[in-house]
Structure 1
Amino acid sequence: MCLIAWNWQPASPTPLLLIANRDEFYARPTLPLNWWEEAPILAGRDLHAGGTWLGVSRDGRLAALTNYRDPAHMRANAPSRGELVSTFLQTQHSATDYLANLVKHAADYNPFNLLVFDGQSLMGLESRHAKVITLKPGLGAVSNADFLTPWPKLTGLKDGLQALLIQDHPRDEDLMALLHNPHPADDARLPATGISLELERALSAAFVSLPNYGTRACSVIRFEVNQIHFQEQAFDAQGHIGTRKFTLPWGLQTG
C-alpha cells in the first residue's frame, strides 16, 4: 500500500472511513479482495510472500501498511512486511499491545508504516523511529514517508477527502475518483528520496501508471454503526480488471 487517507470519528455514524491505493509491479502475482480460506481475513493477497497490504477481519479489526521509500537501506533478505497486516488481523491483542511488541522487532523488516484499528483505537507505527502513534479523531494520511509528511499526493488526497466530507455520506464513486487522480506534482514540490527525478515525478500522482509498475488496487472501507463495507477496484497494465464489494456485520467497541 502506498497511499492511505482516513477520517476517524468514533462518535459518528461512520466511525472510520478509509481510502487507499496499493502500488506494485504488475508482474507480482496477486489475488483480489476475498475471504481467506484459512483465516477470518477479508483482503487481497500477495502470492509472492503470502501477506497483504490492507484488510479487515470478521471481528472488525483493520490493518494497512505502506513501505517507507528508502532505496539505500533495502535488504533483499528481510522478512515480508505484509505478514504484519495478516498477523494483526488474526490476533486478539489490542492495537496498543500488538504495536508495543512489534516495535521491539521493527528493525528486522525493511522500513514501513503500519496502521491498525482494533475496534476501539486507531494507531500507527513508524518503524524507522520505532515510534508508536495514537491517532486522534479527525483526518489523517500516510504515504511512503512518516505519517502526515506533506508529500503532494498525500496532501492532495487528504484535502480531497476533507472536501467530500462536507456531504453527510460521500459516494464511493467520488471517493474512488480521488484515488484515480493521475496528475503528477510540479517538480518544485517533489520530495527527494534517492530515486531519479523522472521516477519521483511519476510516483507523485495518487494513481501511478508506468510500463511495469503502477496502482494495482483502489480501496474504500467504511466502518458504519452496524456494518463494514469494503470495495476494491483492481488494475493491471491494461487498466481496470474488476471490482469487488463485501459487507460484514460490525459494532463499535466501547470501554
Structure 2
Amino acid sequence: MCIATWVWQAHPVYQFLLLLNRDEFHDRPTEPVGWWGESSNHKILGGRDVLGGGTWLGCTKDGRLAFLTNFREPDSLSGTKSRGELPKRFLECTKCPLEFVQEIVKEADQYNGFNLIVADLCTKSMIYISNRPKGKPISILEVPPGVHVLSNANLNSPWPKAEKLRKEFSEILSNHRQEEISETEMVQSLMADKTKADRSLLPDTGCDPEWEFDLSSIFVETVTKLGRYGTRSMVAICVTKSSKVCFYEKYIVGGIWKDHSFQYHLEKLQEG
C-alpha cells in the first residue's frame, strides 16, 4: 500500500527529502533499487516490480522523480493496467510534470485507484494526480513548498499513521536546520515504527476493519490468506541545495534485511 512523507523546497539544506515505505506481498517478484532502463543516456534509479514491469519509485540523473501509492478501496478491478507503469513512463519521457499528468487524465479510468507524484527537481516543479475517489473529477494539484504526507487516500489526508509520520518527520527537520541528516537513522527511527492506531480513529474505506487495523502502522507486517504481506522496502532520498543526491534503501530478500545506497549529482544543475 505504501506511505511517504517529504519536504519540498522548504529546508535550508535540502531542496527535497523523501521517506517512503513500500508495502506488498512478500512473494511478489521484485528487484531492489538499482540502475536500469533501455536508454544508456537516461537510466532510471529505482526498484522494479518484475511482475508488472514498472516501479513504485524512481529518479534520474537529470532530475526527474516519480513515486506512487495505491488508493485503498474494498475492490480492485481485473484487467486494468499496472499502476507501476505510470512512474516508469514519466521517468522515461521528456514531458514536464504538468504535461504528463494532463496526458494521464485521458486514461486514468484504465487503472485501479492510485496517487502519483511526478517532479522535475531541476525546474522545481512537482505535480500530484489521483483518479480517486470514484465518481469525482480527477485530482491534479501543484504541490506547494512544505512538508507533505501520502498514504492510501488523497494527498495530506489526516489518517492516524500519516499524521504521526508527518509530525515526527517535521520535528527531525526542525532539529536539523543547518546540517545534513543521516538517511539510515531517519529510516530506522521513523519508517520502522510498528505502532498501530487506535481502532476508534481508523478511516472508513469500506475495507474490513481488521485489515484497516493491520495496515494502520507505518511499518506493516501481517499474514493473509494469500500469504505474508507488509513493508518490503524503506527508502530515503535526499537532494541537497548543492544538487547532491543520496538514495538509500533498506529492503528484505529471503527473510533477511539488507541495505545499500547510491550517490550522484543532478546533471542539469551541475551544468547550470
Q: TM-score, normalised by structure 1?
A: 0.94
Using the TM superposition, give the Cα deviation of residue 100 of structure 1 relative to its aligned residue in structure 2, in angstroms.
1.1
Name the counterpart of 2:143.
135
**Is the aligned partner of 1:231 residue 2:248?**
yes
Distance 1:25 1:252, change over 3 A: same
CA distance, structure 1, for counterparts of residue 185 and residue 100 of structure 2: 34
Name the counterpart of 2:165.
157
Distance 1:29 1:7, change over 3 A: same
CA-based RMSD: 1.8
CA distance, structure 2, for counterparts of residue 140 and residue 250 of structure 1: 23
Read off the aligned partner of 2:172 and give its amino acid letter.
Answer: L
**Is the aligned partner of 1:122 residue 2:122?**
no
Asked if the contact 2:62/2:268 (under 8 Å) is kept, the reply is no
Q: 3-state SS of the aligned residue for 2:222?
A: coil
Question: Among 218, 221, 226, which residue is 2:237 paired with?
Answer: 221
Identity %: 37
CA distance, structure 2, for counterparts of residue 195 and residue 235 of structure 1: 27
Question: Among 168, 180, 183, which residue is 1:172 paired with?
Answer: 183
For residues 118-169 of structure 1, the C-alpha deviation after alignment (integer angstroms, 9 at most, x for no partner) is: 1221110011241110011000011100111100111111111100002133
For residues 35-54 of structure 1, the C-alpha deviation after alignment (integer angstroms, 9 at most, x for no partner) is: 01524100110011100000
Q: 3-state SS of the aligned residue for 2:63?
A: coil
Q: What does 1:1-255 align with in structure 2 at a 5 Å threshold?
A: 2-9=2-9, 12-39=12-39, 40-72=43-75, 74-119=76-121, 120-128=124-132, 129-166=137-174, 167=176, 168-176=179-187, 177-211=189-223, 212-224=228-240, 225-235=242-252, 238=255, 240-250=256-266
CA distance, structure 2, for counterparts of residue 237 and residue 158 of structure 1: 31
Q: TM-score, normalised by structure 2?
A: 0.88
Using the TM superposition, give the Cα deviation of residue 55 of structure 1 relative to its aligned residue in structure 2, in angstroms.
0.7
Using the TM superposition, give the Cα deviation of residue 198 of structure 1 relative to its aligned residue in structure 2, in angstroms.
1.7
Stretch of structure 1 that moved more, 8-17 or 74-83: 8-17
Read off the aligned partner of 1:99 and give its amino acid letter.
Answer: V
Distance 1:139 1:251, change over 3 A: farther
Read off the aligned partner of 2:71 and give its amino acid letter.
Answer: Y
Using the TM superposition, give the Cα deviation of residue 196 of structure 1 relative to its aligned residue in structure 2, in angstroms.
2.0
Unmatched tracts of structure 2, length 5 or more: none
Aligned length: 252
Asked if the contact 1:26/1:237 (under 8 Å) is kept, the reply is no
CA distance, structure 2, for counterparts of residue 132 and residue 9 of structure 1: 19
Moved beyond 3 Å, runs of 4+ = 10-13
Using the TM superposition, give the Cα deviation of residue 252 of structure 1 relative to its aligned residue in structure 2, in angstroms.
7.0
Distance 1:152 1:107, change over 3 A: same
Using the TM superposition, give the Cα deviation of residue 248 of structure 1 relative to its aligned residue in structure 2, in angstroms.
1.3
